[in-house]
Structure 1
Amino acid sequence: MSNRISVNAFDMTCVDHQSFGLWRHPRSRATEYNTIEYWTELAKLL
């Protein structure tokens, strides 16, 4: 029996409203949610 790796991710297609002010973080990419680059880089990361 082989081992399984399960990956789960959740990302909303909008600027996050649940973490107020997090968009100000230097590494935040929240304003790029509407670009294809954002989603392809997230898919590669996962």
Structure 2
Amino acid sequence: MVIRNSNPNNIKKKKKKKKKKKKNFYLRKKKKKKKSYNKIIEFYDYNI
């Protein structure tokens, strides 16, 4: 009975960790896109 209780808890913890990793990856992608946008503005300003 204790093993059965520990098994679902482990799966739930693993699922939560995967969701957190996905959120971090999305935030990192968004930050990278913002950096590229800033670089384009800098290049445009330098062209002027």
Question: Which structure has the larger Rg over C-alpha atoms?
Answer: 2
Output the TM-score relative to the length of structure 1.
Answer: 0.26
| Higher helix fraction (1 or 2) | 2
Which of structures 1 and 2 has the larger relative contact order (alpha carbons within 8 angstroms, sep 6+)? 1
